[in-house]
Structure 1
Amino acid sequence: MPDVDLDLDRDLNVETLDLPDGRTLAYATYGREDGTSLVFHHGVPGSCVLGAVLSYTARQRGVRVIAPSRPGYGRSDPHPDGTLETWAADCQYLADELGLESFAVAGFSGGGPPALAVADRFPDRVTAAGIVSAPVPESEGPLASLARFPRLLDIALRCSRLLAQRRGDPFVVDQLTERDLDDVTAQLVGHDFRTGLAGRPSGAVRETRFLAGDWSLPDPEPAIETTAWHGTADSNVPLEPVERVYADRSDVTFRTVENDHLGTLLSVREELVTIAT
C-alpha cells in the first residue's frame, strides 16, 4: 500500500470559504468525492495539508476526507478569542456549506480536543469520533513551559519555522517520529508544518496556550462511538496521563499502539478512516 497517493505540487487543492463574521476558512479534500465524510483535524502546528496522509486509504474505503485549517493556520484567518466552542461553530458552518448532513470527526495530536468538541456540540450530526496521539488536560506538550509567555512562544515557533525552511523535511519529521518515512510522506509532513506556521503563528500560539492551561476534555454522548489510539513510545504526548484519563471513560474505546507520536497516526490510518463508513 502506498503511504500517499498524490503529488503535492499537482494534486493539493486548498479551497476557502467566508465565515459569517468575515473570516476566511481554508480546507482541502482527499479520497472519494462521493464518499461518506470524515472531517480531519490537524495537529499543533499544522494545516489542512496533513489530511493527505489519509488519501490512499480514504480512496480505497470510499471516504471523503475534509481537512480544514483551524483559525490562525495556513490560509485560515486567526480568531484571537477562539475557543473549542467557536471552532465547533466554524466546523458546523463548513459542513453546512459542503452539504454534509452527517459526518465523522477525527483529530491528530492537538487536533484531538477540537474534534471531540465538534462531536460534543453536534451529536445529531456526528456519527463517530476518532482521536490519535491526542493530549488530555494533564498532558504537558513540548512547548508547555513557554505557554505563559506568549511573546517567547511566538519567537520559538518562528525559529522552528526558520529551521524547517533551512534544514528541510527531515528536521520536521524528527520532531514527530523515529520511523523511517518514504520521501512523499516526509515531504507532506514538512509542508504541513511550514504551511501551519506561514505568516504569524497565531493559531499555534493560541492553541498551545490553551492546551497548557485549565481546560476540560469534551465529552461526546455515549451514542457517538469514540475511539482513542495512543502510542506507547509517544514522547510528544506521553502515554501515562492519557491512559489514566481514559481508564475512567467507559464510553471511549482506548487502544495503545506500539509506536511513537506520528508513527501511531500512520499505523492506524485504516482503522481511523473506517470510522466514517
Structure 2
Amino acid sequence: MIMNTDAAAEHTITLKDGRRMGYAVFGDPAGRPCLFVHGYASSRWMAGWAFPGALLHRQSIRLISVDRPGYGLSTPHPTAGFPSWADDAAELIDHLGLGRVAVIGLSMGAGPALALAATHPGLVTTTAVLSGMPPVSPGERWSPDSFGDALYWRLARRAPWLLRRLCSAAAAAMASAARGDADALIARVERGLPEADLRVFRELLGGDARAAFATDVRESCRQGGAAMAHDLRQYLRPWGFDPAGVPGPVHLWHGLEDPKVPVALARCLAGRLANGTSSFVHGGHFAPFSQLDRILGTVGTAEDPPLEK
C-alpha cells in the first residue's frame, strides 16, 4: 500500500517580502498538480492522513499541501487578508513551475482557495471547497451545533483578547497531547466526534496515517494558537473579493449534518457562485472525505463533469 508519510514534508520557500511559506508534496510526482489549503488548527500534514497515497497515485494527482500563515513552517501575516495569501500561493506555483493547478480548500481554507481562483484565474483550472466556511456578514445570526465552536465564534465577535488566550491554551494542550502516544491522542479526538464524522475519521486513519495525524497536530500548533484566533476573526471581516466573481468552475461538497459549518451557510455560498455546482451528502464535517474518488476525479481534469445541484 502506498502511504503518504514518506513525503518530503520540510519544504519552504522565501517569499518576495522575506516571509517563509511551508509546503509538502504527496501522491504521484508526475501527476496533475493540485494545491491543498488546510482548515482551522491544521497544517500541510493534513494531506498526509486525509488523502490516501494509493488514491492519489490511482488518480494521478500530485498534491501540494501548503501551511497557511502562522501554521507549521509558514511565517505569520496577521494583517493580511485572503487576496494577499493568494499572491503568496501564486509565488509558490511559479517557484515550482506548476503552470495551472486545481485547488482544494477545506473548511477555513475555503476563503484562501477561492481568493486564488478569483485574483489569479489564469493559474487555476478548477476549485473544490470541502465543508467550506462562507463569508459571514456583520450582524448575521448563525451558530454551529457544537457548543465549543459556538463559544469560540462568540468570543471572536465580542472578546478577541479572551479568544487569543483560549486559543493559546488550546494549542499548548494539543501540542502536549501530540508529543505522547498517537493512539491516546486519536482516542481523545474520537471522543469529541459525532457518529457520522467518527466513521469517516476511522476509515481515513488506517495504517501509517495515524502517525501523519499526530504530526499534523504537532505542526498545527508549532507556533502557538495565534493563527487559530486569526482564522476566526478573519471570517468575520470582508474577504477583500466577491466569491461571485470567481470565474472558473467551483465545486462545493458539504455534509448535511455538519456541526461546524451549518449547511444553510453552505447553500448561501453555493447560490452566490457564478460558475458553481454543489453536492450535499449525508454526514458531518468530514463527509466530503467519503467522496474522495469523485472529488479527485473532478479536480484532476480541466474539463469537469457536472455535479448534481
TM-score normalised by length of structure 2: 0.79
**CA distance in 2: counterparts of 1:215 and 1:140, whole angstroms:** 19
- 1:1-277 matches, cutoff 5 A: 5-6=2-3, 8=5, 10-52=6-48, 53-54=50-51, 55-138=53-136, 140=143, 142=149, 143-147=152-156, 148-149=160-161, 150-165=164-179, 167-175=184-192, 177-179=197-199, 180-181=202-203, 182-211=206-235, 213-216=236-239, 218-219=242-243, 221=245, 223-249=247-273, 251-262=275-286, 264-274=287-297, 275-277=299-301
**CA distance in 2: counterparts of 1:173 and 1:27, whole angstroms:** 27
* Aligned residue pair count: 271
**CA distance in 2: counterparts of 1:256 and 1:118, whole angstroms:** 24
Q: Which amino acid aligns with 2:41?
A: P
Cα contact 1:123–1:220 (8 A) shared by 2: no
1:14-64 residue CA offsets vs partner (Å, 9 max, x unmatched): 211111111111100111112211000111111111122323222111111
Deviation at 1:187, TM superposition (A): 3.8
**CA distance in 1: counterparts of 2:285 and 2:211, whole angstroms:** 17
- Name the Cα RMSD after superposition: 2.3
1:192-240 residue CA offsets vs partner (Å, 9 max, x unmatched): 12211113223222112212x1334742656411100000121121212
User: Unpaired runs of 5+ in structure 2?
Assistant: 137-141, 302-309
Deviation at 1:241, TM superposition (A): 2.1
1:220-272 residue CA offsets vs partner (Å, 9 max, x unmatched): 6564111000001211212122223323445211111112112x232121222
**CA distance in 2: counterparts of 1:220 and 1:32, whole angstroms:** 33
The structure number with the bigger radius of gyration is 2
User: Unpaired runs of 5+ in structure 1?
Assistant: none
Cα contact 2:117–2:246 (8 A) shared by 1: no
**CA distance in 2: counterparts of 1:99 and 1:245, whole angstroms:** 32
Distance 1:24 1:222, change over 3 A: closer
Deviation at 1:156, TM superposition (A): 3.5
Distance 1:225 1:31, change over 3 A: same
State the identity %.
Answer: 26
For residue 46 of structure 1, give the secondary structure of its aligned residue in structure 2: coil
TM-score normalised by length of structure 1: 0.88
Deviation at 1:189, TM superposition (A): 3.0
Cα contact 2:174–2:217 (8 A) shared by 1: no
Distance 1:154 1:190, change over 3 A: same
Cα contact 2:7–2:26 (8 A) shared by 1: no
Q: Which is further off, 237-246 or 41-50?
A: 237-246
Distance 1:92 1:276, change over 3 A: same
**CA distance in 2: counterparts of 1:251 and 1:70, whole angstroms:** 26
Deviation at 1:125, TM superposition (A): 1.5
For residue 17 of structure 2, give the secondary structure of its aligned residue in structure 1: coil
**CA distance in 1: counterparts of 2:47 and 2:71, whole angstroms:** 14
Deviation at 1:115, TM superposition (A): 0.6
1:42-96 residue CA offsets vs partner (Å, 9 max, x unmatched): 1111111112232322211111111010111011111121210110011000000
Q: Which amino acid aligns with 1:6?
A: M
